Amino acid sequence: MSDVIFSNQLTEQEKYGHFLKRIEAGEKIEADDWMPDEYRFTLIKLISMHGISEIMGALPEKEWVPKAPSLKRKLGIMAKVQDEMGHGQLLLRVAEDLMKPLGKTREDIMEDLFSGRLKFHNVFHMEAPTWGDAGLIGWLVDGAAIISQTNMLNASYGPYARALKRICAEEVFHAQHGEAIIMALAEGTNEQRTMVQEAVNRWWEALLMFFGPADASTTGTSKQDITIKYRIRTKTNEELRQDFFSKYIPRVLSLGLTLPDETMHFDKEKEVWVYKQPDWNRFKEIIKNNGPKSKDRLELRKTAYIENQWVREALNMAK
Amino acid sequence: MKMVDVKPMNKDYQSSLISLLYQLADDDFILAYRGSEWLGLAPHIEEDVAFSSISQDTMGHAAMFYQLLSDLGEGDVDDLAHARPAKVRKNAILLEMVNGPGHYLSKPSYDWAFAVVRNYFYVQAKKVRMESLKNSSYDPLANAALKVNMELYYHLLHWKTWFVQLMQAGGEARKRMEDAIHRVWDDFAGVLSLGPLGKELATFKIIESENILKGKWKQSMKPVFDSVNLLMPEEFGTQSGDGRKGVHIKDLEDALLTLREVYQTDPAASW
């Protein structure tokens, strides 16, 4: 409260200076604190995209929930996808608080998703045609998510940092769930091994894209400088991608699987993984909702939204 | 699979017990499957989280009941859940019915009113059974019922809240709910049925009689119905047939094709 009164007596410039000092000192910014518009807008974009990606991310796995091949796997994947929806809910609540001063609500987030203004993560535009893909999503997509989210655990925005803490803890279970599916397949019959290898081949490029382009020169825009400036994250996209390689390439190879990139190797002198760049033009197209499954999944989400319109109206009446 | 020592038992006792376990397991299994099709399609995100949690519990209960069957020598739990053809399944037909027109991956025109009514009425019936089974003469089932019953408290609260809220909303919601209620009445006797060995089940004190359980169901629903101005019907129907006797509709065949799609590519493989 004293902070609010104090801020009211300051010029915008002074407020900005005070704000920067706070985040540089490692203080957490809370929903009702003063923050520069650029910070607010960056967070809204980042967190609503993260939240909606969790929700859209449930859809490729949803395909496999009813089909999971044993009771144990059925229970595992049901729990996993439920967690993802829970993360989506948690994050949308964080985004809603940030949007409140702008007079925007969750309805706006949904509308923005349907109109294409709000993007969701590139990996969730891809096809998941086999049970191997269901395992691979848990193992490597969630594995990549852990790496990029751990990078923001100390984010200057308190509500996001706290949400991420819980999300990361659950993602670790997801990666284990995915790894267990993959191990069973990799140690299984020839058909099962082929299933995993094909899933790896299919997802490799999308996994490279997951971390985003190394810099703005690749795709024209990049928010990573702003998010680093405001202490929302610490590492660059490329650093995260390298961390992913270091953690997962040895594991993929140890299962007797191969990577669909013959140039891939670790340069010991420079201490970096050398790899074939994904097609970044394709990336731009995918996140513009022109990926292989973008339209289908948006359509599914939209159908459910329209079919349940009467329920939301009934609930509003009851309020 | 863990092996459990089952004491030798009277043949008639065992066959009645097994017939009940199949009903319990198959009911939960198919309804949890229908619940899993709703994933990502519920009216709002909070509901998606809650509903999928309930479906997961329900699938867990099915797994417990299949395990009890397996302990009695009926075979592997995953084979019991995935491989058995429709004609030997003992779930009530009401629970296998599709959520609505369309497919869970394409143009699902799912009916939330039907979901609420079917689940609420079913969970209450399941609750009545579990309460009774806590005193079952078959200890392993009494123990399972105790565990299941604890989770049902939340399931029941959840569906009751939806039921009352939508019934009281009036207008389109009320109309949709009443339509759904009539559909559910038409086949609800199938849910309350204990199958062809119902009498033996009561005689062996495995569970109370069908009539007693039906009375308890009505008794617990009556105050809720009164609060939303809904009349309790005298009788319920089995319009689509008696699932307890292995009679089923095409909806179940279609569901089985989906839920065993991966399993049947190699039932012997480890997944």
Q: CATH number of the domain at B93, please.
A: 1.20.1260.10
The answer to whether position B6 is within a domain reads: no
Contact yes or no for B41/A305 (Cβ under 8 A): no
Give the A window 278-317 contacts with B, CB below 8 Å. Answer: 296, 299-301, 303-304, 307-308, 310-315, 317
Q: Dump pLDDT digits (tens) for B61-95.
A: 999 999 999 999 999 999 999 999 999 999 999 99
The answer to whether position B271 is within a domain reads: no
Q: What is the three-class DSSP state of A266?
A: strand
pLDDT for the residue A2: 47
Is B3's Cβ below 8 Å from some Cβ in A? no
Q: What is the three-class DSSP state of A272?
A: strand
Among A85, A191, A310, beta carbon nearest to B172: A310
Average pLDDT over residues B159-172: 97
Q: Which residue has the tokens 């397996």?
A: B70
Contact A191 B265 (CB under 8 A): yes
Domain range enclosing B58? 11-99+108-264
A141 secondary structure, DSSP code: I
Among A72, A88, A318, beta carbon nearest to B45: A88
Average pLDDT over residues B201-207: 97
Q: What is the three-class DSSP state of A29?
A: strand
Gap between the Cα atoms of A154 and A96, Å rounded: 21
pLDDT for the residue A220: 65
- Give the phi and the psi of residue B106 in degrees, each rounded to 5: -150, 120
Exposed / middle / buried, residue B74 (Cβ in 10 Å: 0-12, 13-18, 19+): middle
**Which residue of A93, A311, A317 to mutate against B (max B Cβ within 10 Å)?**
A311
Among A58, A82, A92, beta carbon nearest to B56: A82
Q: pLDDT tens track of chain A, all 319 residues?
A: 445 555 567 899 999 999 999 999 999 999 999 999 999 999 999 999 999 999 999 999 999 999 999 999 999 999 999 999 999 999 999 999 999 999 999 999 999 999 999 999 999 999 999 999 999 999 999 999 999 999 999 999 999 999 999 999 999 999 999 999 999 999 999 999 999 999 999 999 999 999 999 987 776 667 788 999 999 999 999 999 999 999 999 999 999 999 999 999 999 999 999 999 999 999 999 999 999 999 999 999 999 999 999 999 999 886 6
Helices B45-71/B11-37 angle, 10° precision: 160
pLDDT of B177 strictly over 50: yes
Between residues B155 and A319, the one the model is more confident about: B155
Number of structural domains, chain A? 1
The answer to whether position A67 is within a domain reads: yes
Please give the radius of gyration of chain A, using alpha carbons only, rounded to the nearest integer.
21
**B6 confidence band (pLDDT: 50, 70, 90):** low
Q: Dump pLDDT digits (tens) for B237-249.
A: 999 999 999 999 9
The answer to whether position A104 is within a domain reads: yes
Among B63, B262, B266, beta carbon nearest to A67: B262
Q: Which tokens belong to B246?
A: 């292995």
Q: What is the three-class DSSP state of A273?
A: strand
Contact A303 B108 (CB under 8 A): yes
Contact yes or no for B30/B92 (Cβ under 8 A): no
- Give the phi and the psi of residue A266 in degrees, each rounded to 5: -100, 120
The answer to whether position A226 is within a domain reads: yes
pLDDT for the residue B125: 98
**B5 confidence band (pLDDT: 50, 70, 90):** low
Gap between the Cα atoms of A231 and A26, Å rounded: 9
The answer to whether position B65 is within a domain reads: yes
pLDDT of B120 strictly over 50: yes
The answer to whether position B128 is within a domain reads: yes
Domain range enclosing A269? 36-211+218-318
Contacts of A189 in chain B (CB under 8 A): 266, 269
The answer to whether position B4 is within a domain reads: no
Q: Considering chain B, what is the average pLDDT of its residues?
A: 96
pLDDT of B3 strictly over 60: no
Q: Dump pLDDT digits (tens) for A112-136.
A: 999 999 999 999 999 999 999 999 9
- Give the phi and the psi of residue B268 in degrees, each rounded to 5: -85, -15
Among B40, B52, B176, beta carbon nearest to A304: B40
Q: Which residue type, as a one-letter code, is found at position B216?
A: K
Helices A106-115/A71-99 angle, 10° precision: 110
The answer to whether position A4 is within a domain reads: no
Give the B window 20-39 contacts with A, CB below 8 Å. Answer: 33, 36-37, 39
Gap between the Cα atoms of A306 and A298, Å rounded: 12
The answer to whether position A11 is within a domain reads: no
Contacts of B258 in chain A (CB under 8 A): 66-67
- Give the phi and the psi of residue B163 in degrees, each rounded to 5: -60, -50
Per DSSP, helices labelled H in B83-136 are: 93-96, 112-133
The answer to whether position B269 is within a domain reads: no
pLDDT for the residue A168: 95
CB atoms within 10 A of CB A56: 25
Give the B window 42-101 contacts with A, CB below 8 Å. Answer: 42-46, 48-49, 52-53, 55-56, 59-60, 62-63, 66, 77-78, 81-82
Q: Which residue type, as a one-letter code, is found at position A85?
A: M
The answer to whether position B255 is within a domain reads: yes
Exposed / middle / buried, residue B107 (Cβ in 10 Å: 0-12, 13-18, 19+): exposed
Which CATH number fits the domain that encloses residue A88?
A: 1.20.1260.10
The answer to whether position B132 is within a domain reads: yes
CA-nearest residue to A69 within chain B is B263
Number of structural domains, chain B? 1
Contacts of B261 in chain A (CB under 8 A): 67
pLDDT for the residue B2: 45
Helices A37-62/A294-307 angle, 10° precision: 90
Contact B108 A300 (CB under 8 A): yes
Q: Which residue type, as a one-letter code, is found at position B174?
A: R
Gap between the Cα atoms of B48 and A69, Å rounded: 23
